Homo-oligomer: A and B are copies of this chain.
Amino acid sequence: MKASVRPRNAFYAQSGGVTAVINASACGVIETARKHKRQIGTVYAGRNGILGALHEELIDTSQESPADIRALRHTPAGAFGSARYKLKKFADDPREYERLIEVFRAHDIGYFFYNGGGDSADTCFKVSMLAEKLGYPLQAIHVPKTVDNDLPITDCCPGFGSVAKYVAVSIREAGFDVASMAKTSTKVFVLEVMGRHAGWIAAAGGLAAGKAGEAPHIILFPEIRFDEDAFLARTKECVDRYGYCAVVVSEGVKNAEGKFLADAGTRDAFGHAQLGGVGPVVAQLVKDKLGYKYHWAVADYLQRAARHIASKVDVEQAYAVGKAAVEFAVKGHNSVMPAIVRTSNRPYRWKIGMAPLDQVANVEKMLPRDYITPDGFHITAKGRQYLAPLIQGEDYPPYEKGLPRYVVLRNKPVRKKLKTAFVL
């Protein structure tokens, strides 16, 4: 393949749940594109992700100063807006894909950088195929991002390392707190974390327990069916032995019948499924069956937005995949994703490889069973070896008046060229 001979524009969009470092990938894309002016004209960003393309709501990133683009590296969340929007199946309704090409054609977009998880890898792949079918010259590159850490081929997913660090730091700190209080007050603390399908995030909490007796004492994974008796026995054992028990529970934990524990228990006064997550359910169970005073926390968005405690490795990898995406593009690659390749555990070393999108789309990488201890309540040495490098290093944002100084871009719209509006 050969590089383009005249500069064409690029389209960049953020997709799905945002992370502490997806903007670092945006930074990598935009800064690198600015260094390749012979091949890449303007980087347009989609306002609210792929919707920005469908509605022809493009943002002209060339209007942003180098300092503001640089500040994306330390700013959490999605600076251009993201979207939870899955394109319809191509076979059912190709209109959306055709519209994308129409908008790309109108703005001479030759590069499509799609920053997201599994669904967006699939979309990116299909857009690439359709462009080829229609004879429209387009290089579609997927930029990996997901706190769920479930993309295949890449060793890990940008966004995950920072959530992992947040969860490990938080349960360590809360563990110290509960240990102080346990004699007369709280004996059990439950921290609910994200991970509806896979226990990667919950597993990361296990890193805080460097040795026996350290928090967390118990991790509840979505991969392991919840065994109430075993859980209660282990909780009591921890309280007897250590004076307290700290638990990390994944939102996706299911009971023996395969139902989410968060949904199984309770109804509010109006009969709605209860408002809380699984954290309070587990905590209340401990109270009802063992009588221990409890506290619980639900980190929710705080965990994935926590740029203040981002993993340095994660920030660097997020930037690197954005940078590599552009470098792949200017080298003429299409329908690929930059992947993180681990070359060494100690010291941790990694490089960027290239994954073909047809091998990425629609494959979920689950937490291996041998990362979980046989009893199902903690991580193994093997799991620890995989996870530990991903939370290494701190990369603090700048502060002003005691608060992190995060950038809000100008996000200037690009004038529309199409006469047609698109109805979703």
Residues of A near any B CB (own CB < 8 A):
14, 17-18, 20, 48-49, 51, 75-79, 81-85, 165, 168-170, 172-174, 176-186, 189, 191, 207-208, 210, 265-269, 272, 274-276, 279-281, 283-284, 295-302, 304-309, 311, 388, 391-394, 396, 399, 401-404, 406
Contacts and interface: CB of A to CB of B under 8 A. Distances in A.
A308 B180 contact: no
A300 B14 CA distance: 31
Contacts of A81: 179-180, 182-183
Given A78-B181, A173-B306, A297-B298, 18 more contacts: A48-B184, A77-B177, A77-B180, A81-B183, A82-B181, A83-B183, A168-B402, A173-B302, A173-B307, A174-B302, A174-B305, A177-B305, A210-B403, A275-B276, A296-B298, A311-B402, A391-B401, A392-B402
A301 B177 contact: yes
A305 B183 CA distance: 18
A394 B392 contact: no
A266 to B, nearest CB: 4
Nearest to A171: B302
A300 B305 contact: no
Contacts of A308: 169, 173, 309
Contacts of A181: 17-18, 78, 82, 84
24 contacts: A18-B177, A18-B180, A48-B183, A51-B184, A76-B177, A77-B173, A81-B180, A81-B182, A85-B184, A165-B403, A168-B403, A172-B404, A173-B301, A173-B302, A177-B304, A208-B403, A267-B269, A274-B275, A275-B276, A275-B281, A296-B298, A297-B298, A391-B403, A396-B396
Given A169-B403, A308-B309, A272 B284 contact: yes
Identify the interface centre among A83, A301, A391: most chain B CB within 10 Å of its CB: A301
Contacts of A276: 274-276, 280
Contact of A394 (B18, B77, B298, B396): B396
Nearest to A83: B184
Nearest to A406: B176
Contacts of A404: 169, 172-173
B269 A84 contact: no
B305 A207 contact: no
Contacts of A403: 165, 168-169, 172, 207-208, 210, 391
Contacts of A20: 173
A-B interface, 5 closest residue pairs, ranked by CB to CB distance from nearest: A78-B180, A275-B280, A266-B268, A391-B402, A276-B276
A305 B181 CA distance: 12
Contacts of A177: 18, 76-77, 301, 304-305
Contact of A297 (B14, B269, B299): B299
Identify the interface centre among A75, A81, A311: most chain B CB within 10 Å of its CB: A81
B406 A402 contact: no
Contacts of A266: 268-269, 274-275
Contact of A76 (B78, B173, B275, B311): B173
Contact of A82 (B180, B210, B302): B180
A80 to B, nearest CB: 8
Contacts of A189: 301
Contacts of A168: 402-403
A51 to B, nearest CB: 7
